[in-house]
Structures are given as C-alpha cells and as structure tokens.
A and B are shown apart, each in its own frame.
Chain A
Amino acid sequence: MATGLINANPIVYERKERRVRDSPIDTDEDIKDPEHPYSLEELKVVTEDSIEVNNKQSHVRVTFTPTVEHCSMATIIGLCLRVKLMRSLPPRYKVDIRVAPGTHATEAAGIFPFSSLSLLLKNSILALFFSVNELTIISA
C-alpha cells in the first residue's frame, strides 16, 4: 500500500437535497470513499444523473467518476457500489458499473463486467474483498 493518500485534498460538494422519487434505487448515497470520510455523493464520484435505471427491463447502469485520474481505488469503489447494489436491489436487476469515459487512466480496465467473469474468479475477488475491506468500507 502506498503510504500517502492518493488524493489528499478532495473537493467536497454539498449533498443534494433528496426529492421524493419513484425510482427503486436510492441506496448508494452512504458508501464512503475508501480514503476519506465523505460519501461518494459528497465527492461527486456518483451523482444522481449518472445512474440509469430501466425498471421494465430490470437493468441498472451506474457510471462513476473517480476523484483523480490515476485513482487506484477505482476498482474498490466499483466493487463497493456493486455489493451495495446487490444488497439493495431485487435480484431481477442486472447491474452494470462503469467508469465515466475520459476520467480514468486505465479506463478500459475500469469496467466491471462482473457477470462475465468466471465463477471462480468472481468468488475469489469477492472473498478477497470481504476479508480486507468489509468492516471498514461497506458497513462504514
């Protein structure tokens, strides 16, 4: 692990006042940034506009924007989002999580076509993820 923070001084945005919505997705507002005690929404990593929900076809697409281009936490953020969504959405939804185009150095590798990974890999990623970050990130 690098000793210093990757983005030591993030810009913090005000949280958007929630309006009453009918969309079934409303839960990723409390995921914390791996480096900072701010939620992803406050850092504008994920905004309301970057989430597309298609209720009829049961499809959710989240496009997030890492705070800095070389953010090594992009993978973890993506995984956080995925786990949170898996817990919060009915199983009928297919979830796509992507890095916004042009915001990350390793953009191509930043996509998480989770369902296309082999089962073995999927489980090992999750196992690793849970053993390392569970308490500190997801339940934070």
Chain B
Amino acid sequence: MAKTNSWISHIEAFVDASCSSNQQNASVDAIAALVKNDSLTLEDLVREMELYLTTTDNIIRARGTLLLGEVLSHLTAKPLSSTIISSLVGFFTSRLADWQALRGTLVGCLALLRRKSNVGMVVGNEAKMLAENYLANVQTQSLAVHDRKLCFEVLQCLLDVYPEAVMDLDDELIRGILDAIDGEKDPRCLILTFHIAETLMRLFPDQSKSEESFAEEIFEILSCYFPIYFTHQKVDDLQIKRDDLSRELMNAFCSTPYFEPFAIPLVLDKLSSSLPLAKLDSLKYLSNCILHYGADRMFKHAKDIWFALKDVIFDFSPEGIIESAGDMESQKAQIAKEALTCLQMAVSQLNFVNSEPFTSLILDDPDIERIFLSVCLERSYSGIPKETLHQLNSIGSILSIASKVSIDGCSKVFQKFFPRLMNLLGVDKNDSSYGCIKDCNTSSNLNFGALYLCVEFLDSCRDLTIGLQDIPPQAPDSWCYLLKDFCGPLSYAFKSSLVNTVTAAKTGQEYVPCVVKGLQVLATFPGCHSPVSEKIYEDILAVLMSVITGRFDEPFLWRTALEALIQIGLHIEKFHDSKKERGYCKFVVERIVSMLLHDDTTSLGVKLEVISEIGTAGPDFMSTVIRGLEDVIFSNFSEIWVNGNLGAAEILVPLLQCYSNRVLPWCHKFGKADQVAMQFATNIWNLMEKSSVLSVEFQRNGVLDTTMMVMKLCVGYCTEENQSIIVRKAYTILSSTTFLLLDSLGLPLSNLEALQSIPDISGLSCKDEWLISLFASVVIVLHPQTPVPDVGALTRLFTVFLLKGHLPAAQALASMINKWPANIGTAELSSTHELEVVIDVVLESISAVLSSCLKECKIANGTDDNLSCSSLISYQIHAIVGLAWLGKSLLMRGHDKVKEIAKRLLKCLLSDQDIPATSVAKDEARDNDQNMHSLLIRAAADAFHILLTDSEVCLNRKFHATMRPLYKQRFFSSMMPVLLSSIKESNSSRTRAILYRALGHIFSDTPLAAVVAEAKKVIPALLEGLSISTLGVSNKEMTYNLLLVLSGILMDENGKEAIVENAHTIINHLIRLVSYPHMMLVRETAIQCLTAMSSLPHTRIYPMRPQVLRALVMSLDDPKRHVRQEAVRCRQAWASIASRSLHF
C-alpha cells in the first residue's frame, strides 16, 4: 500500500484549478499507475475522494468527478471485480443528472462501457439504467462540442455493445437519439451521429407503422447534410476529410431499405445539380443505394434512374476516343467513370421478376436508337465533328456495359445491333471467299463509327466470357453463334484494313488502334468456348507479325502491333491456354528468334527491342528468347575469338547490353535469374577455356568492358552455391594458364626489381588480360558468404596486378577485403588468412613500393635517367589508386585500418614539401620530374574522391558489398579537422592547393546534411578551396562541385546562420565566379546563389548591393541565354532590395 499522503497530493494538484494542465495530466498518470500495480485500490481512492465527489462547490465536484473518470479510462485493461464496477456504474449513472459535473461523468461512463468482458464489464441491466438516466437528464445539443462528442461516443457504445438492453427502451430511445443528433454541425460529431443513425436503423428493422414514420424522421435529419458541403481544406487540425464524412453519410443512407421512398428522389434531384461534387456524390450514393435497397423497391425508380444516368453519361464522357492519363484525373472524367459504374450496378442488380430488366430500358430507348444511327453514318474518322465523336464514345460505353454484365443482356445487345454493324462494315457472314485475295477497296474506308462500336462489343463479350466459369448451352440466336458466323469475315476485314492503312497514313492514327485492338480481342477469347477458330487465331498472329517484320518504318503502327502481341502473350500466360500457347510460340516467338539469327535486313536495335519485349509476356516465351539470344551471343564470341572477325564485336556489344539490361532484370523479377545467369556465366568460362588463342586486339570496341559488366550482373544474380561453382571453375582455368606460373610471383613484393620483372599489362597476351579481368569481375560480385578458393594466392595475385595498374584487380582485391569474414573459425583457415593479417600484408607491400620508389627516385634524380624515374612515379600512382580502393572497402565495412590508409594518403599529399631542390643546372629534367610528382600528388588527392563516391562497378549494394550506415559522415567528421589543421600548418602554396583539393572532394561527396551540420567550419574552407580551384581550367569540375555544396548549404534552413555570418566573403567569391570563363554551369549556379543571397537580412547584404549589381551588368551580356536569364532575375531581386534609385 502506497503512502497515503503521496497520492493525496496528486489529487489535490488535479483538483486545483491553478495548476497547469501538464501537472494535472501528470497526476492522473501517477494515480493510474499506482492503481495499475495494485499499490492503491480503487475503493481507497474513492473513499479518499469522497469529499471532492460530493461537495457542493460545483467546480471542485466537477474536477473530482473528472479525475475519477480519467483514472478509469487509464484502467481499461486492468481486471476489476464486478462489485466495484457495478457500484461505479451506479455512481456515474446517478451523476448524469448533475449537469455541472457532466464532463467527468461522461468520461467515466465511457470508460466503463468500453471495458471488455475478460476484465469485467458492465452488465446489461446497468447499461439500460444508464441509458434511461441519460435520456431523461442530458440535453445533448445544449452542450459544448467536446461534451457532445463524448455524449455521442457513449450512445454509440451503448448501441454497439448492449443492443438487447437498450432495445427494450424502444420509442423512448429513438426519440432521445433523434433529439440528440438533430441539428449537429461539428464535423467530428457528425461522423459519430451518422454512424449512430446507421446503427439505429440496423437495430430496429421491424416493419411496424411507427417505424416507417420514424425512418422518415431520421432521414429528414440526415438529408439536410446531403451532399456534404465541407470547405475545410486542411486535414491537419480536425483529422477529418470530406470523403470520410461523405462515406459515413452514405452508409447511413444505405442502412435500411425504408429510406428508399425519401432517398432516391433526393439523390436523383441532386444528380441534376450543376455542382460537380454533388453529381459525383449522388452517383456514388445511387449505386450504393441500388445495391442495398434491392430490386423490388427500386423497380418504380428504374426509369428515372436510367434517364438521369443517360444524361450524365452523354454530357460527361471524354471527347477523345483514346483517353490520355491526364484526362482521367479531371473531375469530369471522374463523373463519367462514376456514372458508368453506377450504370453497371443498375444493369446487374435491377433484374425484375415480373417485368423487363433494366437492360431493355436501355435497348428500347429511342434516343439510343437515334444516336446509334447517327454515329454509324460517319464514314471516315477525319470528318467526324467533335460532338458525334463524343456521342460515339458514350454510346459505346453504355452498350458495352449492357452487354458485359450477363449473357442474357449480351445476347440482346448483339441481336439488336451486331448484324447491322456487320452490314455497315460490309462484312457478309455467307461470304466464304474470305482468306483469299479480293478487291480491298471496300475495306479501305471502313465505317469508323461502326468499327469502333464493333470493337467495343467484342471487347465486352470477351470480358464476359473470361468472367464465366462455363457457358450454359445457348439458343441459336445468342451472341456466341452470331459471333462465330461473323468472326472469319470480320477478321479478314480488319486484316485488309490494316494492310491498307499504308496508303491512308493520316487517318491511320485513329484507325490503327481500333483495328489492332479488334484483332487482339479476337485472339484473346478464352480457349474452351472461343467462337474464334484456330485458323483465324493463327491468321491474326500472322498479320500482326507481318507488321512487326515488315513495317518498322511506321513507328505508330509498329508499336501498337507490338503492344497487341505482348497483350496476347500475357493473356495466354494468365489463363494457361496450352493450345494457343503452342500457336503463339510457333508463329511469334520462334519467328522472332529466327529473325534475330538469320535476317539481316532489319536493324539490330529493332530486333532486340522486339525480342526482349515479347519475352516479357511470360517465362516460357522468355526461355525461348534467352536460348535464341545466347546462341547469337556465343556464335559472335567465337566469331571474334576463332576467326578474328572484328565486325562481330560491333554486334556483340548491343546484344550483351540487351541481355544484361532487359533480360536479366526481368528474370530476376520473376525469380528465375539464378539458373539463367549461372548458365550464361558458365558458358562464357567454357568458351574461355576452349579458345586457346586470342590474338586480336579489340578492347577499343568496349567488348571487354561490356562482357565484364554482364559477367558481374550474372554472377551477382546467382545464389551462393552457384557462385562458388563459378568461381572455382574460373580459378581452375586461370591457374592453368602460363603467365601465372612465373616464379617472380613468389618473390617478396617490397623488392622493386621483382615487381619490374613481372611483365606489364601491356605485355600480357590478350587472352590473359581477358582472363584476369573476367576473374576480377567474378570476385567483385561474390556474396560475403561465398567461399573463395586459395585466398592467399589470390590476394597476392591481385596485389601484383594492382601495382601494375590493373584497375579491376584493385577493385577485386578491395571487394575481397570488404567481404572478408570478420571472425574466422579456427578450423577452415590458418591464422595467416585472418583479416588483420591480410590487410597488413597488402598494405605493407603497397607502402614498400611507395617508399622504395621514393628512394629510387631520389637516386635517379642525381642521374639523367628520366625514363626510369617516370616509370617509378607511375608505379606510385598505381599504388595510390589501389590504396584508395582498399581504403574504400575498409571504410565501408567500418574497419579501423582505414585511418592508417588515410594517414598514408595525407603523408603523400604533404610530401611535396620535402622534395629536395636539386641542382639548377638540370632545370629541364627537374621540371619534368616536378610534373610527374604533381601528378602523383594529384592522384593522392583524388583518392579521397574514390574513397567517398558510390561506384557503379564495384562495392555497391547490387554487388553485395558490406556497408555500415553513415560511413561517409563518419569519415567526413574525422578527416575534416585533420586536413584543416594540416592546411594551417603548411606554408607552401602548392601543398595547400592540393590539400584543398582533397578537402573539396570530401565536401562534395559527403551527404549534404552532414556538411550543413558543420557549416560554420566548412564555409571558410569551402570558399578558400573555391578561390584556389578557379585558377586553373583543369579544376572546373571541382569548382562546380564545390559551388553545388555551397548552394546546398544556402538552401538549407540549418545552414542559414553560418551563411549570414560569412555573407560578405561569400558574395565576394560569388561575384568572381559570375564571370568564370570555363563553364557555363558555374556561372549560372553562382548567379542563382546570389539570387538566393538577396533574401538574407537586409542589414547584412545592403552594403554589397552596388558591387553585386555592377558584377551582374557583365552577365547581362553573357553569351549563354540561361545565364542572361538568371542574371536578369538576380538583378531584379537585388535592385528591389532598395528601390529608390536607379543608380545601380
């Protein structure tokens, strides 16, 4: 038991009106916590609070009751005994009459009513008592918003949880609730009242006389809210949207069929309103009402509904036949769509027992007949007036909905219209001559209106058959037989019209989609009860294929036909139609593949586009496509390697790109990439193994690069097991070649001569270079878990090639170290293969090369041996680049050794100072040497760029790199102080420049948020770096990157303060950049930055105004238009800071 006085103080705090609301909340929480962990029982609390609950001071009593209520609402999950609950309910029920303390009472009631049965809940009798007391004492509409909301919640809870108990109250309850909800205006409460009305109507479904009248009464209350007029646009403060309100009201409207006599006339009336929102709502309500009220009750309204819908559809259908995506968003299109949904609901629901169904209302409508006749008069598309097009669209959608819903309706529509359409199109079902060549003149001007309607019909009855499981036997005049009779000649008509569109290219734009869609629909009738025979199906495929193969100079037609073929393929795949699949494979996929192999007339790009897109229709088709592609790729490979045919290389690159960019990602999406990629990678290695001589030089075609990329993607998609198979195979092939058996590989690498004795990359045979590059690609993408064979030798091999300047080898080594298992089990590998040891070995050999080169270099300086000196420098550059990649891999996995690498790089940056000044006599030699040396230092500075940028070729997420979050930020914050302090210490301007270059890389490659956080320190250094980098042409990329960082800080809220502090210096720098001659983007961005600067506090920037305006005068005459435009905008901004004078 907690000490009494400790919680008494909480009660006092809560009751005391002078305490802040935070304190009061805290005391409620404290008391509730005490009760929850049983330190305090509810009985004690109530006993202690007796005075507060019964005092005659209204304010204190209200606070006391509220406290009890709040505490209870914290305890909904705590089990309470039934005696406590019943006494509490009794208490609150009696307090309902106390209007001064009503808030607390309501909170308490709600908390009690919401309890679940497993923790003890209020029994029915007590709930009934509560309801009775509520109805007798509470005047809901006279309360404030918050209290009203509580009231409605209590009512809702009573109706939901204790329906039997409150049902006994019958009339009294209904009256009470009606009074309570009448005239409510607050949206938060309205949502509740709509719900209450809905529940109430569900609870009293009896059909007695009194209820009919009460339905009318309650509908009267609801109807004044329809359609919802809600101007509150912002969602945030009330958390209620117009749609929520509208949906709740709709549910209330549909809650009982008794609303029908009142609701339908109201909705139909509002449907004719001119407000688009009212129309939209009415349509939604109408379709819901149709669903809920039932056909019997809706019978008498059927005619009115049809007329209303007809008007809306004819007024609001989109004007174009082909809808664009933007159109769909507009309100008008929404209304049209909603109207069609409503019509579909009416057609499917309103089938009356004793009378004609809704469909016949449509079919017998004289308007429909009249419009049908008028639109079918249009012979060609180009002459159709907009209005007729509009009508065509509307009637098309109405009739297709009428036929889409049921077989019966479909047959009726077909009987009435289809033969007439066929007649208009000139298709005769008895014409047996279709298929053979006949005079095509008739079809060249197919009646457009009839064509459009016909395709719409076909589409809707296709949809109907797809939806049905099996079609019952039908009368001989049903649509199915009609279609069977006509589909042969019809498809022939389509076909010949497609052939003829060549001549009529202009009208083709509208005819083609219709005709192609017609063919596509005919081809996609589901197999078992298709009215379309197999021969016609094959014919259709052949027609579409003839477009693909023969008419790629008509892009629109070609694209449409391709889309149709893909759709047919997707349809077959979706419904597993084996018969059609066979035809599709034979007539489409295989023909395309053979086209790729044998046809030289079509351009390769077109063929690849077709083949990759057709493949996406389904896995079976894709596997055929893949087989075809692989055949071509490998035959080209052997063409190059065996026959030395260089021309094949040009074909190979797009083939490989298509394979890696389109086919592999698709396979990956459908989970089949593993096998496919494995197969492909193995095949390449097999080829490498077999082809003994690769003497041809064809690197310049980019074949090697593309092959490496494909290899990376393939192996990347493989599972670990397959990866390990590939890597083992590759290693066997690699180790069997001769060049690796050189003894020198065994020598210690710190020995420079040993390194020089190994042949250079340029000295390698072509095949060896392919081998090592492809092998490096495999290693780059391995999963961290994939075992790598013979790690020791591989590390060594890659280190050697890294020092030789082979970039893929450096990346492979970096990837290996990045994914090296962190804590190796003792059994598998000896201690020499632990990560630390390996890193040490690699670093040692690299730094040995670096330092011994430096030594040699100094010696060479004394002699005239320039050549060896420059080759030594190039070794050093290779070492630096390798170091950078290594550093990146360590940085990404968060290894500490990266610090050591950074230190080495920094040392290299600073090495400029201790180059000894040699004798003046060898001036020329010294210049050359200086040049080489500055290249080296530059490489060291650029190493920071490698360290921090995301690479496309390795060490990224796609290639399974180990990546610690925020590694860039960490590097940034640890390196920046070091670099800044060394800049301060260095006294040579060249060293400073190079240090700023390194720092610049760090700034521009770190995520902006991290840079902004350090803005105060960054900005001075950034500006200094900018002014140094503007000196040379070669630094223009760097200048631009730094400027982008500056503008990023400028745009960020958090960076503002540092910007304001340095405003003058920044503006001075920007003014200089405004006339930067080497890069347009720099000028433009600088001016944009200046424009942004003009919004800083005027006192800071006003003194700079004349300077800025003077500088901008020059930019007004800039040779580039973009710069001039920015300059005008900027000048305007700066000139209007203080506009009293023109003298700028």
Contact = CB atoms under 8 A, between A and B. Distances in A.
A124 B1125 CA distance: 30
Contacts of B1132: 87-88, 139
A131 B1139 CA distance: 9
Given A22-B1121, A24-B1117, A126-B1142, A88 B1128 contact: yes
A26 interface: yes
Nearest to B1142: A126
B438 interface: no
B1087 to A, nearest CB: 14
A54 to B, nearest CB: 15
Contacts of A126: 1142
Contact of A89 (B1116, B1125, B1135, B1136): B1116
Given A22-B1121, A88-B1128, A88-B1131, A138 B1142 contact: no
- Chain B at the A interface: SS class: helix
Contact of A138 (B1131, B1139, B1140): B1139
B1113 A91 contact: yes
Given A22-B1121, A24-B1124, A26-B1125, A90 B1139 contact: no
Contacts of A22: 1121
A27 interface: yes
A87 B1121 contact: no
Given A126-B1142, A134-B1139, A139-B1136, A90 B1125 contact: no
Interface string A83-109: 100111111100000000000000000
A88 B1139 contact: no
Contacts of B1139: 130, 134-135, 138-139
A130 B1140 contact: yes
A87 to B, nearest CB: 6
B929 to A, nearest CB: 48
Nearest to B1116: A90
Interface in B1113-1144: 1113, 1116-1117, 1121, 1124-1125, 1128, 1131-1132, 1135-1136, 1139-1140, 1142
Contacts of B1121: 20-22, 26
B1089 to A, nearest CB: 20
B53 to A, nearest CB: 64
Contact of B1117 (A86, A92, A134, A139): A92
Interface string B673-693: 000000000000000000000
Interface string B188-207: 00000000000000000000
A79 B208 CA distance: 82
Nearest to A21: B1121
Contacts of B1113: 90-91
Interface residues of B, number: 14
B1131 A87 contact: yes
A11 to B, nearest CB: 25
Nearest to A122: B1142
Interface in A108-140: 126-127, 130-131, 134-135, 138-139
Given A86-B1142, A130-B1139, A27 B1128 contact: yes
Contacts of A139: 1132, 1136, 1139
A88 B1118 CA distance: 12
Interface string A46-83: 00000000000000000000000000000000000001
Contact of A90 (B1117, B1135, B1136): B1117
A89 B1142 CA distance: 13
A21 B1116 CA distance: 15
A21 to B, nearest CB: 8
A90 B1124 CA distance: 10
Nearest to A22: B1121
Contacts of A83: 1142
A87 B1140 contact: no
Interface in B1079-1136: 1113, 1116-1117, 1121, 1124-1125, 1128, 1131-1132, 1135-1136
Nearest to B1139: A134
Contacts, number: 39
A56 to B, nearest CB: 13
Interface in B915-944: none
A87 B1124 CA distance: 12
A75 B1135 CA distance: 22
Nearest to B1136: A139
Contacts of A135: 1139
A26 B1124 CA distance: 9
A34 B1128 CA distance: 22
A127 B1131 CA distance: 20
A58 B1113 CA distance: 15
A138 B1117 contact: no
Nearest to A126: B1142
Most chain B CB within a 10 A radius of its CB, from A26, A88, A92, A139:
A88
A108 B305 CA distance: 69
Contacts of A127: 1140
B1116 A88 contact: yes
A86 B1135 CA distance: 11
Contacts of B1142: 83, 86, 126
A128 to B, nearest CB: 12
Contacts of A24: 1116-1117, 1124
B433 to A, nearest CB: 53
A131 B1131 CA distance: 20
A80 to B, nearest CB: 13
Contacts of A130: 1139-1140
Contacts of A20: 1121
A66 to B, nearest CB: 24
Nearest to A27: B1128
Contacts of B1125: 26
B362 to A, nearest CB: 42
A21 B1135 CA distance: 26
A113 to B, nearest CB: 18
Nearest to A83: B1142
Contacts of A26: 1121, 1124-1125, 1128
Nearest to B1114: A90
A130 B1131 CA distance: 17
A7 to B, nearest CB: 27
A22 B1125 CA distance: 12
A27 B1116 CA distance: 11
A138 B1124 contact: no
A124 B1049 CA distance: 43
Nearest to B1134: A87
B1134 to A, nearest CB: 10
Contacts of A27: 1128
A87 B1135 contact: yes
Contacts of B1128: 26-27, 87-88
A48 B1132 CA distance: 21
Nearest to B1121: A22
Contact of B1136 (A21, A88, A131, A138): A138
Contacts of A134: 1139
A48 to B, nearest CB: 16
B1130 to A, nearest CB: 11
A109 to B, nearest CB: 23
Nearest to A30: B1132
Nearest to A134: B1139
A49 B846 CA distance: 70
Given A24-B1117, A88-B1128, A138-B1136, 4 more contacts: A24-B1116, A26-B1124, A87-B1135, A131-B1140
24 contacts: A20-B1121, A21-B1121, A22-B1121, A24-B1116, A24-B1117, A24-B1124, A26-B1121, A26-B1125, A83-B1142, A87-B1128, A87-B1135, A88-B1128, A88-B1132, A89-B1116, A90-B1116, A91-B1113, A126-B1142, A130-B1139, A130-B1140, A134-B1139, A135-B1139, A139-B1132, A139-B1136, A139-B1139
Interface of A: 20-22, 24, 26-27, 83, 86-92, 126-127, 130-131, 134-135, 138-139
The list of the 5 closest CB pairs from A to B, nearest first, reads: A90-B1117, A90-B1116, A88-B1128, A134-B1139, A139-B1136
